[in-house]
């Protein structure tokens, strides 16, 4: 089973994030860049499938030069090879454009599974699994909290508000996984040393056959018109329990139209 | 690290940057420390529980095997890699950091440095995987720095050592996964009348091996520290580690390396004090603005950063000399002395920045304050370091 895992470098989840006033994109220069935390679950799931069923795991990202650090991390976790789609023309691409570019890059690789996490911690749109499945013309298994692979059949437990659905499809397919599906491994020192010897390929937009008129900030399908800083959190209301705390809380929630 | 860059140009390049691999190791351990260790630190400290689960995970990451060759189950890294890991762990929890430090440099390293091929093959794979822990018993109730005052005796008869005596403050010696305690013992008298001291491997638990209950310590609550008593313990003659009579000398060389690792640990604690103070000074308001905007606080934190940074350079420099095979006794003593005193000062100042909250155990700086003092005592006191530096200067 050959697996392509999509990963994205995002501003450190723990850091204070800002928007760049000049073009309303995330100011990525001022904070540390890390692998989107949920992507670590996707990488781990791919490695577990590979360990159980064989095959090869390729990690793919679209991002600036510094994204190489993140690819090395994936390689040090045990991924076999990395592909880096990097081109100035891609900067500022919206989700729809990114799905086009990524689908083109995936097209240069052979895969049974395209594995990715449900969302990234910076954009938080959660649409990429669906967009990619459509672009690639393959089934989509999304929001998986458990994955079973049996030959070319993949069965997942899809997380829902009420529990889970059991969904199955045959490869090739796009598989989106949710957080906590597994416990991502830490790279071992051996893994770190081995990572630098593994293949890391760079693709330009042209290499992937991407029409540069269809990507980038200028032709993005969505844009940020304006933004303001979030207002500071207002002081909370203290409900003192004088034997009637429950009633007071209920009144408070009712006033907020929460119940 | 540093060595690689030298000699590349005619005049030579001084390079204190970490390589990509060193940086990735540092970041990996930093992430582990921040997301796995730090959230448990307060509870482990309060309950004085040994961090078995964290040790298991550190084992899986290969941290216990960092400076050992792969043929013994190691990771094929070096001592500096170990120091980087220790520093990052200490930013979250000194008890966890010292568990790794002692496990590697006191548990496994003596076996690697002085053991026979058989001893290495028997012990190292288990120790370098973190599956089991080894401890080193040098200090006795009646003598720490004065190792010559060793009273523990080992008598060789019928192909076996008969060991009697006691040891004090032995790290990692009483955990559920401790399987080896190496002890120094008097094995005879030298021609000049001085004690002949040798090191002997004791597989534990065994008959006659007594471990004290947990002592009540000021800090390092989650680290395992015990007093040990040996009552007629018998081990085979081949459990002698290194040459007979070289036990003390061998241990001193292990101690020199260990000082660099303890220095890294102290730097981690000193840096943690900067991290916590910075966070608090930006957040805490007094008289209408964050306290970090007052020079009295800002200068304190600047001085804390100054000490952490300088101490780090000191241990990098000592590790650099050690890895190049150059004499490093003085540099290790300087690094150990400066960084441990910096850690104590930073912990005191960080507590001050936090005001009354700094005295509350729910704030990490309170733990750092309690954990810092031992750094001026263990692995050679500050006085011993000054003595070593002075000796190296020829006075």
Cβ B180 vs Cβ B136: under 8 Å:
no
Q: Nearest Cβ partner of B25 from A14, A185, A189?
A: A189
Cβ A167 vs Cβ A129: under 8 Å:
no
Q: What is the DSSP string of A54-74?
A: ---EEEEEE--GGGHHHHHHH
Q: What is the mean pLDDT of residues B214-219?
A: 94
Q: What is the mean pLDDT of residues B291-313?
A: 98
Write phi, then psi, for B50 (nearest 5 degrees).
Answer: -70, 135
The answer to whether A81 contacts chain B (CB < 8 Å) is no
Interface of B with A in 30-59 (CB under 8 A): 31-32, 34, 57
Per-residue model confidence (pLDDT) at position A255: 87
Residues B21, A185: C-beta atoms closer than 8 Å: no
Assign A132 to helix, strand or coil: helix
| ω into B276 cis (within 30 of 0) | no
Predicted ipTM of the assembly: 0.77
Angle at A162 between CA A171 and CA A119, to 5 degrees: 50
Binning pLDDT at 50, 70 and 90, where does residue B332 land?
A: very high
Q: Nearest Cβ partner of B21 from A185, A188, A193?
A: A193
**What is the maximum alpha-carbon separation in chain B?**
79
Mutate one of B24, B29, B37, B83 to test the A interface: name it (highest A CB count within 10 A).
B24
| A185 contacts: CB under 8 Å, gap ≥ 6 | A44, A47, A77, A78, B60
Per-residue model confidence (pLDDT) at position A248: 87
Per-residue model confidence (pLDDT) at position A22: 80
Cβ B226 vs Cβ B175: under 8 Å:
no
CA A144, chain centre distance (Å) = 13
User: Considering only CB atoms, which chain A residues are within 8 Å of B21?
Assistant: 192-193, 196
Distance from the Cα of B239 to chain A's closest Cα (Å) equals 31
Burial class (CB within 10 angstroms; exposed 0-12, middle 13-18, buried 19+) of B228 = buried
User: Considering only CB atoms, which chain B residues are within 8 Å of A187?
Assistant: 24, 28, 61
The answer to whether B335 contacts chain A (CB < 8 Å) is no
Res. A223: pLDDT tops 90: no
Interface of A with B in 171-210 (CB under 8 A): 185-190, 192-193, 195-196
User: Considering only CB atoms, which chain A residues are within 8 Å of B81?
Assistant: 189
Q: CA A34 to CA A72: how far, in whole Å?
A: 11
Res. B173: pLDDT tops 70: yes
Average pLDDT, chain B: 94
Residues A192, B25: C-beta atoms closer than 8 Å: yes
Task: Tell me how far CA of residue B317 lies from CA of A144, B82, B263, B332, in angstroms.
Answer: 50, 15, 11, 9
Cβ B222 vs Cβ B260: under 8 Å:
no
Residues A189, B77: C-beta atoms closer than 8 Å: yes
Cβ A139 vs Cβ A133: under 8 Å:
yes
All structural domains of chain B, each given as residue ranges with its CATH number in brackets, are 20-133 (1.10.540.10), 135-245 (2.40.110.10), 249-392 (1.20.140.10)
Going by C-alpha positions, the residue among A239, A234, A235 that lies closest to residue A252 is A239
Q: CA B257 to CA B253: how far, in whole Å?
A: 7
Cβ B350 vs Cβ B359: under 8 Å:
no
Residues in chain B: 395
What does DSSP say about strands B178-189 and B195-203: parallel, antiparallel, or unpaired? antiparallel
Q: Angle of helix B94-101 relative to helix B38-47, nearest 10 degrees?
A: 90
Cβ B219 vs Cβ B265: under 8 Å:
no
Distance from the Cα of A231 to chain B's closest Cα (Å) equals 16
Angle at B237 between CA B232 and CA B241, to 5 degrees: 100
Assign A234 to helix, strand or coil: coil
Catalytic residue numbers of B, as ranges: 379
Res. B83: pLDDT tops 60: yes
Per-residue model confidence (pLDDT) at position A256: 85
Per-residue model confidence (pLDDT) at position A126: 86
pLDDT above 70: percentage of residues in chain A: 100
Residues B75, A72: C-beta atoms closer than 8 Å: no
> What is the token pair recorded at A216?
């980038």
Assign B355 to helix, strand or coil: helix
> What is the token pair recorded at A69?
């650090």
Mutate one of B18, B23, B31, B57 to test the A interface: name it (highest A CB count within 10 A).
B31
Distance from the Cα of B287 to chain A's closest Cα (Å) equals 18
Q: Nearest Cβ partner of A189 from B20, B57, B66?
A: B66
Binning pLDDT at 50, 70 and 90, where does residue B12 land?
A: confident
> Searching chain B, which residue's CA lies closest to the CA of residue A74?
B24
Question: Looking up tokens 């822990």, which residue turns up?
Answer: B133
User: Considering only CB atoms, which chain B residues are within 8 Å of A72?
Assistant: 20, 24
Q: Nearest Cβ partner of A189 from B20, B34, B62?
A: B62
Cβ B77 vs Cβ A189: under 8 Å:
yes
Structure pTM?
0.87
All structural domains of chain A, each given as residue ranges with its CATH number in brackets, are 2-219 (3.40.50.620)
The answer to whether B183 contacts chain A (CB < 8 Å) is no
């Amino acid at each position: 089973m050959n697996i392509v895992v999509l990963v994205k470098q995002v501003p450190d989840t723990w850091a204070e994030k800002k928007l760049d006033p000049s073009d309303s994109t995330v100011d990525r220069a001022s904070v540390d860049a890390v692998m989107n935390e949920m992507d670590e679950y996707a990488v781990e799931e791919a490695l577990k499938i590979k360990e159980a069923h064989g095959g090869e795991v390729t990690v793919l990202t679209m991002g600036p030069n510094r994204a190489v650090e993140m690819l090395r991390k994936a390689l040090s976790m045990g991924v076999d090879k990395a592909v880096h789609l990097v081109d100035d023309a891609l900067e500022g691409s919206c989700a729809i454009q990114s799905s086009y570019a990524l689908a083109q890059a995936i097209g240069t690789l052979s895969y049974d599974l395209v594995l990715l996490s449900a969302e990234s911690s910076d954009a938080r749109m959660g649409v990429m699994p669906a967009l990619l499945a459509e672009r690639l013309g393959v089934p989509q298994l999304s929001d998986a909290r458990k994955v079973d692979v049996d030959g070319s059949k993949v069965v997942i437990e899809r997380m829902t508000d009420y529990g889970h659905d059991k969904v199955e499809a045959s490869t090739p397919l796009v598989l989106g996984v949710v957080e906590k599906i597994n416990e991502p491994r830490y790279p071992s020192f051996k893994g770190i040393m081995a990572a630098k010897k593994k293949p890391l390929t760079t693709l330009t937009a042209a290499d992937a056959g991407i029409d540069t008129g269809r990507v980038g900030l200028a032709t993005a399908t969505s844009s940020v018109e304006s933004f303001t800083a979030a207002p500071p959190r207002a002081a909370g209301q203290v409900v003192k329990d004088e034997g009637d705390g429950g009633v007071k809380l209920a009144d408070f929630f009712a006033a907020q139209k929460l119940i | 690290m540093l060595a690689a860059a030298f000699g590349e140009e005619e005049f030579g390049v001084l390079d204190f940057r970490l390589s990509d691999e060193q940086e990735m190791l540092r970041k990996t351990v930093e992430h582990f420390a921040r997301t796995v260790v730090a959230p448990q630190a307060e509870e482990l400290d309060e309950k004085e529980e040994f961090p078995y689960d964290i040790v298991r995970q550190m084992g899986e990451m290969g941290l216990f095997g960092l400076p050992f060759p792969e043929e013994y189950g190691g990771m094929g890294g070096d001592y500096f890699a170990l120091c980087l890991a220790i520093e990052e762990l200490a930013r979250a929890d000194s008890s966890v950091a010292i568990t790794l430090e002692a496990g590697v440099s006191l548990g496994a390293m003596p076996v690697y440095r002085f053991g026979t091929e058989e001893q290495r093959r028997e012990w190292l794979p288990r120790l370098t995987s973190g599956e089991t822990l080894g401890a080193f018993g040098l200090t006795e109730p009646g003598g720490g720095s004065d190792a010559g005052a060793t009273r523990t005796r080992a008598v060789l008869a019928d192909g076996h050592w008969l060991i009697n005596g006691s040891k004090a403050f032995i790290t990692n010696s009483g955990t559920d996964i401790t399987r080896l305690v190496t002890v120094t013992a008097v094995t005879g008298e030298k021609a000049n009348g001085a004690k002949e001291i040798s090191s002997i491997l004791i597989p534990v638990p065994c008959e006659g091996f007594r471990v004290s209950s947990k002592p009540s310590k000021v800090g390092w609550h989650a680290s395992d520290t015990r007093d040990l008593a040996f009552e007629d313990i018998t081990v085979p003659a081949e459990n002698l580690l290194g040459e007979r009579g070289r036990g003390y000398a061998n241990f001193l060389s292990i101690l020199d390396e260990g000082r660099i690792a303890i220095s890294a640990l102290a730097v981690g604690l000193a840096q943690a004090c900067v991290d916590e103070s910075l966070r608090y000074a930006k957040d805490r308001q007094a008289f209408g603005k964050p306290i970090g905007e007052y020079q009295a606080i800002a200068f304190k934190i600047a001085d804390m950063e100054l000490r952490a940074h300088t101490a780090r350079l000191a241990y990098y420099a000592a590790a650099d000399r050690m890895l190049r095979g150059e004499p490093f006794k003085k540099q290790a003593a300087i690094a150990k002395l400066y960084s441990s005193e910096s850690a104590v000062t930073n912990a005191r100042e960080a507590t001050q920045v936090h005001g009354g909250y700094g005295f509350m155990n729910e704030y990490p700086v309170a733990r750092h304050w309690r954990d810092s003092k031992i750094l001026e005592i263990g692995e050679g006191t500050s006085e011993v370091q000054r003595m070593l530096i002075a000796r190296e200067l020829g006075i």
